[in-house]
Structure 1
Amino acid sequence: MNTARLILDTRRRVAPVPRRLFGSFVEHLGRCVYTGIYEPGHPTADPHGFRGDVLALVRELGVTTVRYPGGNFVSSYRWEDGIGPVDQRPARLDLAWHSLETNAFGLDEFMRWVRAAGVEPIMAANLGTRGTAEAVDLLEYANHRGGSHLADRRRDNGAADPYGIRLWCLGNEMDGPWQVGARTAPEYGRLAAQTAKAMRRFDPDLELIACGSSHSSMPTFGTWERDVLTEAYDDIDLISLHAYYQPVDGDLPSFLASAEDMDRYIDAVTAIADSVGAIRRSTKKIMIAFDEWNVWYQSAAPSTPPSGEDWPVAPPLLEDHYSVADAVVVGGLLISLLRHSDRVTAACQAQLVNVIAPIMTEPGGAAWRQTIFHPFARTARHARGAVLDALRDSSTTATDRYGEVDAVDAVSTWDDSTGEMTVFLVNRSADTPAEVTVEVGGARVAGVVECVTIGGGDLDARNTADGPDHAAPRPNGSAHGTGSGIGLTLPPASWTMARLTTTTS
């Protein structure tokens, strides 16, 4: 039996929980849009063609923001193709995913959809094949009230009021050789700064995200961030991080400890950004948008796009079917994001539907929750108030990739308006349970409201259309205690959420 001690104090706070931390991502990739969020003729479709069953699951998931329209797709996208009468929109070759884009769904449809879903949009501009002028045109179409050519086109297309999009991505993964229009760091940094300056002439209060490295193992990682920020530090607000995880050669212990990599990645980029700021003698802090993260089996056959003369419309791509082990890892990654909430102020799990997604659909048929849906939904719903500075003392577990790591990882939030404290925990040991003691200062524990766990059993269990609830969190009856803290037992390879009521008197 491993052991862990978690010390929490309601007076020691990292930061308020950023609501944008629970974002997602919709890209014109595979079946994310077509037969995902949008399927006219589906039995649940509304008059706009939006799948009602998917909208219900998106609301249950607790998504707060959605990044659109890419991703790799955006780097050769003409946003103008997706507005106006649908029957007059041109079909285009999508060079990113070797597919045919019909443009039946575009910016105006997306904005109707985000309003139906109750989420905030994050808009990405094409800085691959296009540049500053096209980004400013897109901004004018989306956000200007009226009286200009592009704003009046939006009004003619049925949207009298401006969309008011606040958060914008200046391109996507511009360091990647796979990216259409990839650039060197100085080239991209200058373009991002130029575009940001132009966009701020329209609205100085926009929030702008510059592209960081596509992942931390890129050969230019670190120098890319330094060079981009050297060019654009004063003009942007956030820099992006992207990371995907999968087990390598069956190495389950390292996979369960994937949050170790996320922690180090965030800490490294924060240090680089602060070093650039220090050299500039700037008091400004660059925040982090971790706007692509998830488990993704990139070497699996479903991740291979079509080739040759085959340019299909919305082919099944990247349709990973997630296991309980994957859900445990996702829960751990959410712990890492919360732990860094003083600098990570936006994040997007990629993607929302069908494509490496928490929600799966059948064309014309059912929609269901994948295993990774559950830790995301529970965290988005119950991580409220402030993130607490958690002190951990844990047994360790061995991994090939990260060495000895804490067997138990954890983070906690506390909502002083309701007195609810929520503790999120992962047992990263593949074969040993853990006894955990949670000590609370600054408040007294009145009781355990709920304690649920996913994992600790068949780590390969998955949900399907016929068995949508086969793998889901189950009650964990081990949680007990009042006063100064609680104790609970974590099964091996598991994610757990414990909700406590507290009093301060």
Structure 2
Amino acid sequence: MTKARISIDREAVVAPIDRRIFGSFVEHLGRCVYDGIYEPGHPTANEDGFRLDVVELVRELGSSTIRYPGGNFVSGFRWEDSVGPRDQRPVRRDLAWHSIETNQVGVDEFARWLKLTGSELMMAVNLGTRGIEAALDLLEYCNHPSGTALSDQRIANGTVEPHDIKMWCLGNEMDGPWQTGYMTAEDYGKIAARTAQAMKAADKTLELVVCGSSSSSMPTFGDWERTVLEQAYEHVDFISCHAYYQERGGDLASYLASSLDMQYFIETVVATADHVGNKLKSSKKIKLSFDEWNIWYLDEHRESEEVNDEWRIAPRQLEDVYSVADAVVLGNLLITLLKNHDRVASASLAQLVNVIAPIMTEPGGDAWRQTTFFPFSVTSRLAKGEIVKPRIDVGTYETAVYGAAPLVDSVVTTDGSNSAVFLVNRSQTESIEVQIAVSELGATSIDEAVTVWDDDVYAKNTLADQNRVGLKQLEGAALADGVVTVTLPPVSWSALALS
């Protein structure tokens, strides 16, 4: 049996855990909002029309900060349409996803939904078809206590207390030709800087996210970040990263190593941001907001007829059904985000319900967990205190895309009393025995040992079989003389809780 050794230096701290690393994303796209979080006729719906069975799953998932309302949707969003009496709200065309938007869920309703889930609102402003004035108006409506035209309008609409939104995205994927109102890096950098300056004049405590490249495969990647930050560096706090992964051409070996690409993405953006900071002689360090990341079978959706000439309300779009292999890759991507948490201070799993999501729903029926639900929910629940980067001694395997990739990846968290070790085995054929030296964590017992694994790496949870895949006990985990010994099944994600 292949073996691996993991050693933990308690001083090798990456960063204290900011719960924003466990964020998610709700966009007005497909059935994410309508028939997803919102379905007035559902048996579990509350007075606002929100499905409480979905609320319970979101709470179990552990999502912290929810990015809203897009995504591509935001570049055509008129926020004023989404507030006030529902029967007076205009119905609009959404050019981003070629659908009809009813505006029955808007800013105030979504903020109330977030209180049910215990999540924080991360708001995006429209810099595609609108600009500074609309962003300032939305900020005033949401955050000013009272006594101004827009804050009093919010109160008249039934929301007395301000929403107090701290984190704001300055547009979305403005480098993408698919984006309504897309721009050059220089043009976007200028409008983003002016918008950020104006918003911070209203409230200097805001945390603002400027758009980075929409993917590392964009021809302008790197140069886009440099140009935008040269314009906006002193006015913003974060730059965004977006990355999606899928298995292509039956190359499971490369797919299982997708986190190596995410690591490259992060290192490149950090280096570019720091270069600009040094050039500007700034003492500030720009953080990364990885506010779109997930598994997305985009190639297949591009070949489908999901987006057509019809204008429909909440059409079924991007409803990927995830496998065990997808869950393992997602768990590994989350490990990578944690290992870079000193600079990746916020992240949003895109998206939350129905649309490339960990939670699925059926109109009038059930809500259930996809395979990807489990690594996210367990990591969010167990990760406490500080992140510690372990040393991993293990062999490699060859991939067609990334070259040699380590067979095992891992990250550790601890608050002094409770610790957690998260692990991935990328081997398709072998179980791997891992010895983890945990004496520096002061661990004396294993409280939990779970894994996502199956004989069929393509097993999925579906409407017809909602519990085909779930958490399994990781049998045989033992702790003796300061060493945990555990055997990881092939193509698996696992977690150990220690105390």
**Normalization by structure 1: what TM-score?**
0.97
Q: Is the 8 A contact 1:445 1:482 kept in 2?
A: no
Q: Is the 8 A contact 2:444 2:482 kept in 1?
A: no
Q: Is the 8 A contact 1:30 1:317 kept in 2?
A: yes
- Equivalent in the alignment of 1:36: 36
SS of 2:480 mapped into structure 1: coil
Counterpart pick for 1:485 among 475, 483, 486: 483
SS of 2:478 mapped into structure 1: coil
Q: Is the 8 A contact 1:447 1:482 kept in 2?
A: no
Tell me how far apart the structure 2 counterparts of residues 445 and 382 of structure 1 sit (CA, whole Å): 15
Q: State the shift of 1:391 in Å.
A: 1.0
- Equivalent in the alignment of 2:383: 383
2:225 is aligned with what amino acid?
E
Q: Does 1:306 align with 2:307?
A: yes
1:37 is aligned with what amino acid?
I
The alignment yields a C-alpha RMSD, in angstroms, of 1.1
Tell me how far apart the structure 2 counterparts of residues 365 and 341 of structure 1 sit (CA, whole Å): 38
2:133 is aligned with what amino acid?
A
Q: Is the 8 A contact 1:10 1:442 kept in 2?
A: yes
Q: State the shift of 1:358 in Å.
A: 0.3
Tell me how far apart the structure 2 counterparts of residues 180 and 314 of structure 1 sit (CA, whole Å): 20
SS of 2:445 mapped into structure 1: strand
- Equivalent in the alignment of 1:55: 55
Q: Is the 8 A contact 1:291 1:348 kept in 2?
A: yes
1:140 is aligned with what amino acid?
E
SS of 1:159 mapped into structure 2: coil
Structure 2 regions of 5+ residues with no counterpart? none
> 1:234-249 residue pairs with structure 2 within 5 A?
234-249=234-249
Q: Is the 8 A contact 1:243 1:293 kept in 2?
A: yes
Q: State the shift of 1:222 in Å.
A: 0.2
- Equivalent in the alignment of 1:440: 438
- Equivalent in the alignment of 1:160: 160
SS of 1:299 mapped into structure 2: helix
Q: Is the 8 A contact 2:76 2:129 kept in 1?
A: yes
Q: Is the 8 A contact 1:97 1:305 kept in 2?
A: no
Tell me how far apart the structure 1 counterparts of residues 181 and 353 of structure 2 sit (CA, whole Å): 27
Tell me how far apart the structure 2 counterparts of residues 350 and 174 of structure 1 sit (CA, whole Å): 18
Q: Is the 8 A contact 1:14 1:387 kept in 2?
A: yes
Tell me how far apart the structure 2 counterparts of residues 316 and 297 of structure 1 sit (CA, whole Å): 15
Once the two structures are overlaid, the 10-residue window that deviates more, 66-75 or 465-474, is: 465-474
Tell me how far apart the structure 2 counterparts of residues 423 and 177 of structure 1 sit (CA, whole Å): 41
Q: Could you give the per-residue CA deviations for residues 235-294 of structure 1, whole angstroms, max 9, x where no partner exists?
A: 000000000000111100111111111111101101110111111111100000000000
Q: State the shift of 1:148 in Å.
A: 1.1
- Equivalent in the alignment of 1:228: 228
Q: Is the 8 A contact 1:444 1:482 kept in 2?
A: no
SS of 2:30 mapped into structure 1: coil
Counterpart pick for 2:460 among 454, 459, 462: 462
Tell me how far apart the structure 2 counterparts of residues 393 and 455 of structure 1 sit (CA, whole Å): 23
Q: Could you give the per-residue CA deviations for residues 114-146 of structure 1, whole angstroms, max 9, x where no partner exists?
A: 111110000000000000110001000000111
Q: Could you give the per-residue CA deviations for residues 188-229 of structure 1, whole angstroms, max 9, x where no partner exists?
A: 111111000000111001000000000000000000000000
Once the two structures are overlaid, the 10-residue window that deviates more, 161-170 or 392-401, is: 392-401
**Normalization by structure 2: what TM-score?**
0.98
Q: Is the 8 A contact 2:414 2:441 kept in 1?
A: no
Tell me how far apart the structure 2 counterparts of residues 376 and 389 of structure 1 sit (CA, whole Å): 19
- Equivalent in the alignment of 1:428: 426
Q: Does 1:452 align with 2:450?
A: yes
Identity %: 55
Q: State the shift of 1:457 in Å.
A: 1.6
Q: Is the 8 A contact 2:453 2:472 kept in 1?
A: no
- Equivalent in the alignment of 1:142: 142
Structure 1 regions of 5+ residues with no counterpart? none
Q: Is the 8 A contact 2:240 2:289 kept in 1?
A: yes
- Equivalent in the alignment of 1:500: 498
Q: Is the 8 A contact 1:10 1:441 kept in 2?
A: no
Once the two structures are overlaid, the 10-residue window that deviates more, 230-239 or 466-475, is: 466-475
Q: Is the 8 A contact 1:424 1:495 kept in 2?
A: yes
Q: Is the 8 A contact 2:3 2:433 kept in 1?
A: yes
Tell me how far apart the structure 1 counterparts of residues 362 and 345 of structure 2 sit (CA, whole Å): 34
- Equivalent in the alignment of 2:472: 474
Q: State the shift of 1:467 in Å.
A: 2.4
- Equivalent in the alignment of 2:192: 192
Tell me how far apart the structure 1 counterparts of residues 234 and 278 of structure 2 sit (CA, whole Å): 13
Change in Cα spacing, 1:133 to 1:381, as seen in structure 2 (3 Å) is same
- Equivalent in the alignment of 1:290: 290
Q: State the shift of 1:456 in Å.
A: 4.5
2:7 is aligned with what amino acid?
I
Tell me how far apart the structure 2 counterparts of residues 14 and 482 of structure 1 sit (CA, whole Å): 27
- Equivalent in the alignment of 1:18: 18
